[in-house]
Chain A
Amino acid sequence: MEKAPHFVTDLAHLPTSAHGPRSATWWGTLGFILIEGTGFALAAAAYFYLMGQPETWPPGQAPPDWLWGTAQLILMLASLLPNLWTDRVAHQEDLRKVRVGLVVMSAVGLLTLVVRAFEFGALNCRWDDNAYGSIVWVLLGLHATHLVTDIGDTLVLTALMFTRHVEPRRYTDVTDNCVYWNFVVLAWVPLWGLLYVVPRLV
Chain B
Amino acid sequence: MSSPCRSAVSLAALAVLTVAACDREEREPRGAPVGDSGPAAITQGTLYAGQPSPPGPSHREYEGNAYHISQGKQLYVWFNCGTCHANGGGDIGPPLMDDQWIYGGTLENIHATILQGRPNGMPSFRGKIPEQQVWEIAAYVRSLSGQTPKAASPGRSDSLNAKPDEQRMPREEPKGSSPGGPNLEGRQ
Interface residues of A (CB under 8 A from B): 128-130
Contact = CB atoms under 8 A, between A and B. Distances in A.
Contacts of A130: 161
Interface string B116-133: 000000000000000000
Nearest to A133: B161
Contacts of B164: 128
A60 to B, nearest CB: 11
Interface string B129-167: 000000000000000000000000000100001001000
Interface string B47-71: 0000000000000000000000000
Nearest to A129: B161
Q: How large is the interface on B (under 10, 10 to 19, 20 to 34, 35 or more residues)?
A: under 10
Main SS of the interface on chain B? loop
Nearest to B160: A130
Nearest to B156: A128
Nearest to A128: B161
A130 B156 CA distance: 12
Contacts of B161: 128-130
A130 B161 CA distance: 7
Contacts of A128: 156, 161, 164
5 contacts: A128-B156, A128-B161, A128-B164, A129-B161, A130-B161
A129 B156 CA distance: 11
A152 to B, nearest CB: 15
A50 to B, nearest CB: 15
Contacts of A129: 161
Nearest to B163: A128
Interface in B27-52: none
B114 to A, nearest CB: 29
A130 B158 CA distance: 11
A130 B164 CA distance: 12
Nearest to A130: B161
A59 to B, nearest CB: 11
B156 to A, nearest CB: 7
A128 B164 CA distance: 8
B121 to A, nearest CB: 32
A187 to B, nearest CB: 29
B159 to A, nearest CB: 12
A57 B31 CA distance: 44
A129 to B, nearest CB: 6
